[in-house]
Structure 1
Amino acid sequence: MPAVTPVIAGLGFRQQTSCQALRQALNAALAAAAAGQVGVALTLRALATADDKCQHPSLAQLAAELALPLHAVPLAQLAAQPAHASARVPARYGARSLAEAAALAAAGPGAVLACKRHVSTDGSATAAIALSFSLSQMP
């Protein structure tokens, strides 16, 4: 039986994004993360984004459909994460991938990216997956 590793999905998106675009980016990121983890089963435990985006209707719909909690990450925590640079991300998010930063921040100490951000076909949403070693310590 493979080891089970909890993961957190970080999501970044534009105001006009749809639940479908968020799901598409999430599914692509999950597939890439799983492909890179031989012999490990990934268990999605939560979604995360910037605290000023967590009330977006499409994100709330996705969290409800997946029955997952949504973590609102404070802007200061986002800026402190070692996410990849992104010219499309506003300075208030640290000018780095919001999806990657949110995933890392919400996954806790020692978290690492299982994959870089993936972008929805319409370009309105991104998702990244972080391995959470602090959650794997929990019962």
Structure 2
Amino acid sequence: MIVAGIGCRPDITTDALLSLVQRVSAGHSLARLAAPVFRKGEPSISALAKILGVELVWISAQDMAERQVECETHSAVAFEKTGFSSVAEACALAGAGSKSRLLIARQSNRDVTCALAISSDRTRIENG
């Protein structure tokens, strides 16, 4: 199972989310979208899951905290604003389950980040 984890600023548009998620997930079959619970009020995230036709899971702060050590990229700005230095990667990892690993590290657009994680034992693919 492949999961796209996202991070975003408040009031993000569905188009901004869709653009990055489609770019990052090109060539992969997404099963799930994972987003931080502190963005649960963002209607664009739910809209994105519907457009993509995937399950949406909300990742708790505790689950994100537990996966921070496995994240490959870290942002001081994200930490300042959310308390987490890696939102998209932590969400992807937590959303894909306890034995997951990153498939594609965090990629970003202006106001959105996206990472992919996989729950099987496939090897990591570098994003070129």
Instruction: Give the TM-score taking structure 2 as reference length.
Output: 0.83
Check if 1:13 corresponds to 2:8. Answer: yes
Could you list the per-position Cα deviations for residues 53-112 of structure 1 after superposition, in whole angstroms to 9, with x for gaps in the alignment?
133111111111122111111101101112222112135855322010000001012211
CA distance in structure 2 between the partners assigned to 1:24 and 1:113 by the alignment: 20
**Secondary structure class of the residue paired with 1:90:** helix
CA distance in 2, matches of 1:26, 1:88: 21
CA deviation after TM superposition for structure 1 residue 16, in Å: 2.7
Q: Secondary structure of 1:76's partner?
A: helix
In the alignment, which residue of structure 2 is the partner of 1:128?
115
Q: Which residue pairs with 1:96 in the alignment?
A: 85
| Structure of greater Rg | 1
Unaligned runs of 5+ in 2: 122-128
The structure with the largest helix share of the pair is 2
Secondary structure at the residue paired with 2:39?
A: coil
TM-score, normalised via structure 1 length: 0.77
The runs of 5 or more residues in structure 1 that have no matched partner are: 1-5, 35-41, 135-139
Q: Partner residue of 2:74?
A: 85
Q: How many residues get paired?
A: 118
Asked if 1:115 is matched to 2:104, the reply is yes
Percent of residue pairs bearing the same amino acid type:
30
2:58 and 2:97 mapped to 1: Cα distance?
Answer: 13
SS of residue in 2 equivalent to 1:88: helix
- CA RMSD in angstroms comes to 1.8
